[in-house]
């Protein structure tokens, strides 16, 4: 632990500072980009700071985002320590608006729904109801857990879902034979289903929101239902593949499994109000193209309802994953600065992206997102890659058009991060599953690699055939 602290804070941090200062103060001619302004150069330096901090995780990802936003406000905004003689400045309200971007509100609504569901016991009730049809036969119980975890991860934090389901599974795992593969199968089901399930909706995992937010800045709007129509089938197919794979690699020896899910579920008016609001919110999200209600607006309905009836109270604000919201905001602020300083347009004109092969870019970006997300947080990987690929996609729009355009490029990257589950450090659900002591890294890597390769192929196929 001390070694890790020393490396990050005494070696990597100074190197990042040196790199950023070099990019900040070197003459603009060093970059070899015609027409590059000082403001654009500073934007490059700040982008470098954010990228390196996210990659090496020298400080928490949310802290990197917040510090990035403050640096942008001071160095490239109209209310910072600069004047417009150095280049086009960014409206400070646009940068600060990243904290309240409509996509942030969408995520906030998702967190409020999950908190309310947990408070009234709706999550426990749903787990019981959904698991009941699968009986006690081990292979069907495994399928049941894969389905339940993936569905819950579409609307709740996949970390929270994984932790909750492990609590339900822990007593069962202790009763299974030690020499059988059943314990490994059930433990592995937690991260696999949680990671894959998050792909299903825009609020399932931060990379989805990051991609949608970047596209909305480019006037490309993807509805909640549009996303689900493409990605839920991918989730279904991948859950079936994961089920067959786990049964093949880690077969059960037990003949039956009894699952008892404990937890209070008092069916009072609060419970039914939350249940009805939950269902209506999901229906409004899925039918946005018919009702013309924006998903981000719909997300605030449960917030208002639960606040009015007293289910969501002031103490519940502490349960919201604010660090996730602020982390996502950093990526939005970078995207805004790239566009408003004119840096994106300058790069488009200076680099011959239009000559690049669309197929190569699509595949390479997906693989890069997958590889990065196995070593750093998937939201950090998305925050790093999405603004860059937005520039690339804009420049090669004609080449990408036959494959669904820039939306396919960014959504494919978001999807690729959800398949990153090679190691215990890859995602929080992986770490939670690893904490059981039942899974060795070799098994996790083997299953993660198979799921990752198949998942990338299937998601790319779906998105290329049915672009958003």
443, 445, 450, 456 alpha-carbon torsion, rounded to 10°: 150
Residue 108 lies in a domain: yes
Within a domain: residue 361? no
Question: Are 409 and 442 a contacting pair, CB within 8 Å?
Answer: no
The domain tally of the chain equals 2
Distance (Å, whole) CA 292 – CA 284: 9
Q: pLDDT tens digits for 22-75?
A: 999 999 999 999 889 999 999 999 999 999 999 888 888 899 999 999 999 999
Cα–Cα distances in Å, from 248 out to 142, 241, 252, 277? 12, 11, 10, 41
Q: Do residue 72 and residue 106 come from a single domain?
A: no
Global confidence as pTM: 0.88
Give me the percent of the chain exceeding a pLDDT of 70.
98
Is 146 in a helix, a strand, or coil?
Answer: helix
Q: Is 345 domain-assigned?
A: no
- Cβ-based neighbours of 191, under 8 Å, separated by 6 or more: 162, 421, 427, 429, 430, 432, 433, 444
Q: Are residues 134 and 70 in the same domain?
A: no
End-of-domain residue from the set 68, 95, 122 = 95
Query: 330 in a domain, yes or no?
Result: no
- What separation, in Å, do the N-terminal and C-terminal C-alpha atoms of the chain show? 45
Q: How does pLDDT run across 356-400, given as a tens digit for each residue?
A: 899 999 999 999 999 999 988 888 899 989 999 999 999 999 999
Q: Are residues 139 and 72 in the same domain?
A: no
Question: What is the maximal distance between C-alpha atoms in the chain?
Answer: 76
454 domain-assigned: no
Decide if pLDDT at 108 tops 50: yes
Q: Are 276 and 312 within one domain? A: yes
**Residue 440 binned pLDDT confidence (cut-offs 50, 70, 90):** confident
- What's the domain range around 89? 1-95
The confidence score (pLDDT) of residue 2 equals 47
Residues 180 and 286 in one domain: yes
Question: Does residue 111 share a domain with residue 91?
Answer: no
| Residue 216 forms part of a structural domain | yes
User: Tokens standing for 159?
Assistant: 């970390």
Check whether residue 80 and residue 131 sit in a common domain.
Answer: no
In a shared domain, residues 269 and 161? yes
Q: How far is residue 155's CA from residue 123's CA, in Å, rounded to a whole number?
A: 11
Average predicted confidence (pLDDT) for the chain: 90
Range with the lowest mean pLDDT among 118-122, 166-170, 320-324, 367-371? 166-170
Which two tokens mark 126?
A: 């749903």
Q: What is the pLDDT of residue 123?
A: 85
Do residue 44 and residue 117 come from a single domain? no
Query: Looking at the domain assignment, is residue 290 inside a domain?
Result: yes
Q: Check: CB of residue 430 under 8 Å from CB of residue 418.
A: no
Q: CB of 44 within 8 A of CB of 31?
A: yes
* Residues 304, 187 share a domain: yes
Q: Are residues 77 and 107 in the same domain?
A: no
- To the nearest whole percent, how much of the chain has pLDDT over 90? 64
Residue 90 bridge partners (DSSP): 77
Q: Where are the alpha helices (DSSP H) in 218-268?
A: 224-249
Nearest to 363 by CA among 289, 291, 464, 445: 464
In a domain, 23, yes or no: yes
Comparing C-alpha atoms, which of 227, 142, 257, 201 is closest to residue 463?
Answer: 227
Q: Quick one: 225 and 121 in the same domain? A: yes
Last residue of a domain, one of 292, 321, 350: 321
- Among 95, 119, 135, give the residue marking a domain's end: 95
pLDDT on residue 215:
95
């Amino acid at each position: 632990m001390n070694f890790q602290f020393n490396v990050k804070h005494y070696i990597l941090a100074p190197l990042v500072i040196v790199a950023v200062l070099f990019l900040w103060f070197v003459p603009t001619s060093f970059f070899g980009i015609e027409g590059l302004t000082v403001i654009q150069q500073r934007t490059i330096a700040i982008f470098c700071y954010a990228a390196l901090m996210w990659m090496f995780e020298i400080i928490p990802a949310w802290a990197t985002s917040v510090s990035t936003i403050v640096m942008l406000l001071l160095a490239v905004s109209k209310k910072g320590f600069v004047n417009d003689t150095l280049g086009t400045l960014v409206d400070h309200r646009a940068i600060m608006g990243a904290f309240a971007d409509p996509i942030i509100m969408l995520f906030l609504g998702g967190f409020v729904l999950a908190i309310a569901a947990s408070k009234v016991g709706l999550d426990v009730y749903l787990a019981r109801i959904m698991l009941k049809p699968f009986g006690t036969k081990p292979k069907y119980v495994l399928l049941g857990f894969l389905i339940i975890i993936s569905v819950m991860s579409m609307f709740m934090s996949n970390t929270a879902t994984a932790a909750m389901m492990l609590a339900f599974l822990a007593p069962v795992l202790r009763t299974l034979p030690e020499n059988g593969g059943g314990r490994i199968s059930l433990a592995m089901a937690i991260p696999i289903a949680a990671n894959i399930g998050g792909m299903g909706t825009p609020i399932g995992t931060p990379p989805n929101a990051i991609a949608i937010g970047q596209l909305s800045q480019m006037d490309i709007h993807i509805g909640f239902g549009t996303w689900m129509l493409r990605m839920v089938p991918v989730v279904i197919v991948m859950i079936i593949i994961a089920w067959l794979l786990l049964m093949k690699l880690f077969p059960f020896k037990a003949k039956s499994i009894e699952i008892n899910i404990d937890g209070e579920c008092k069916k009072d008016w609060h419970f039914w109000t939350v249940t009805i609001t939950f269902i209506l919110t999901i229906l409004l999200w899925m039918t946005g193209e018919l009702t013309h209600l924006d998903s981000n607006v719909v997300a605030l309905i449960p917030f208002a309802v639960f606040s009015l009836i007293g289910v969501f109270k002031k103490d519940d604000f502490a349960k919201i994953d604010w660090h996730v919201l602020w982390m996502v905001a950093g990526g939005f602020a970078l995207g805004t600065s790239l566009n408003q300083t004119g840096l994106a347009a300058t790069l488009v004109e200076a680099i011959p992206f239009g000559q690049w092969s669309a197929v190569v870019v699509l595949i390479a970006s997906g693989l890069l997102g997958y590889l990065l997300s196995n070593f750093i947080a998937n939201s950090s990987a998305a925050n790093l890659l999405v603004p860059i690929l937005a520039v690339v996609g804009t420049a090669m729009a004609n080449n990408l058009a036959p494959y669904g355009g820039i939306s396919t490029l960014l959504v494919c990257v978001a999807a690729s991060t959800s398949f990153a589950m090679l190691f215990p450090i890859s995602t929080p659900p992986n770490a939670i599953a690893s904490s059981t002591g039942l899974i060795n890294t070799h098994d996790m890597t083997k299953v993660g690699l198979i799921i990752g390769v198949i998942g990338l192929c299937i998601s790319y196929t779906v998105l290329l055939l049915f672009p958003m």
